[in-house]
Amino acid sequence: MLAIGCILGIRWVINGIAIMVVFANILLVLMMVGLLNTVNEITLKDFLTPQVPALTYSLIMAAGIKIFQQYSPKIMFLTPLLELILTVILGAVIYLTSMFIFKTKHTRPLIIELREDMNGLFAKMTIKIKSFGSA
């Protein structure tokens, strides 16, 4: 489903792909809730309430990136790869900042999950750097 969304969104470049991935994820969530509801009496509200903080932070991040892209001066020496890297860094900073500004009771598990993901990422990077240095 995500691949189909990417193919459909390619006409509008990265923004189209991002929007199609969001729609694909919404469809996947609705399908998961339907499946969970057959196994357990879980309502859509029970499933979506813990998701609201992450969705809110993502929307703030998307708006911040869009505002930055809209109003920032185009730098001539900025290659597409460097622009992508800077946009990803900006997105991460906006997401993390909004996570600490707009805390809810569902933010703590999100921070724990993020910390675990980052620890795993740093561990993999450390292993690759050590193996690169010993070669």
pLDDT at 67: 87
**How far is the CA of 20 from the CAs of 15, 23, 82, in angstroms?**
9, 5, 24
Quickly state the pLDDT bin for 129 (edges 50, 70, 90). low
Q: Which pair of tokens denotes residue 105?
A: 């009771």
pLDDT at 92: 87
- Mean pLDDT over 44-65 rounds to 83
pLDDT at 41: 74
Q: Which pair of tokens denotes residue 130?
A: 């050590």
What are the sequence ranges of the domains in the chain? 1-41, 43-135
Residues 109, 63, 9, 80: what is their CA dihedral angle, to the nearest 10 degrees? -100
Residues 92, 93, 99, 102: what is their CA dihedral angle, to the nearest 10 degrees? -140
Q: Around Cβ 116, how many Cβ atoms within 10 Å?
A: 10
pTM score of the predicted model: 0.59
State the DSSP code for 76: T
d(CA 47, CA 33): 7
